[in-house]
Amino acid sequence: MSKKTLTLMSKDKQLFNIEEHLAVQSVTIRNMVKEDGASSVIPLPRVDSETLALVIEYLNRQQAPEEDEDYVKKFVDERGEIPTLLELAQAALDLDIKKLMDAACMKVADLIKDFTLEEVREALRIENDRTPEEEKAIRDEFQWAF
């Protein structure tokens, strides 16, 4: 019996094949397969091809269940760049892959946990759109947390 293959399409229209029994680790895909057999291409409009390639690599892993936790941790560790991790988190959210979502978000948290606000802004490319006066006002409003 040949294994059934699904095709996923990234937002930049690249196609990726993956065996169905591996793809259904994604709850989103599992539900699609259940509904209409998912014979055609599954579009993922918020996931770019670079990230989707990573997700496919993740779904294709061949790990013993007891070593899976370690694998997932290592998988995100090796791609420890915050932008990549955020894209992975977005993909994991859209595809509903809990383990990947947890691991990616946890890694980001781990990377920024000792940062000052200024460093967080820089690491996450957040533009400070407040004037110094406005920022002081906010810090005063939440002074019990600073």
Contact residues: other proteins, CB under 8 A: 83, 86-87, 89-90, 93, 101-102, 105-106, 108-110, 112-113, 117, 120-122, 124-130, 135, 138-139, 142, 144-146
Q: Of the two residues 9 and 103, which places its CB atom closer to other proteins in the complex?
A: 103
Q: Are 63 and 25 in contact (CB under 8 A)?
A: no
Helices (H), the chain: 20-23, 27-36, 49-59, 68-78, 82-95, 98-112, 117-124, 132-141
Please work out, in degrees rounded to the nearest 5, the angle formed at the alpha carbon of residue 9 by the alpha carbons of 5 and 11.
165
Token duo for residue 18:
């993956």
Q: Of the two residues 15 and 117, which places its CB atom closer to other proteins in the complex?
A: 117
Q: Of the two residues 20 and 111, which places its CB atom closer to other proteins in the complex?
A: 111
Measured from the CB of residue 132, what is the shortest distance to other proteins in angstroms?
Answer: 12
Measured from the CB of residue 10, what is the shortest distance to other proteins in angstroms?
Answer: 17
Cα–Cα distances (Å) from 1 to 4, 29, 39, in that order, read: 9, 22, 17
Q: Of the two residues 39 and 142, which places its CB atom closer to other proteins in the complex?
A: 142
Residue 87 amino acid letter: E
Measured from the CB of residue 25, what is the shortest distance to other proteins in angstroms?
Answer: 18
Measured from the CB of residue 71, what is the shortest distance to other proteins in angstroms?
Answer: 16
Give the C-alpha separation, 68 to 47, whole Å: 24
Q: Of the two residues 77 and 110, which places its CB atom closer to other proteins in the complex?
A: 110
Measured from the CB of residue 11, what is the shortest distance to other proteins in angstroms?
Answer: 14
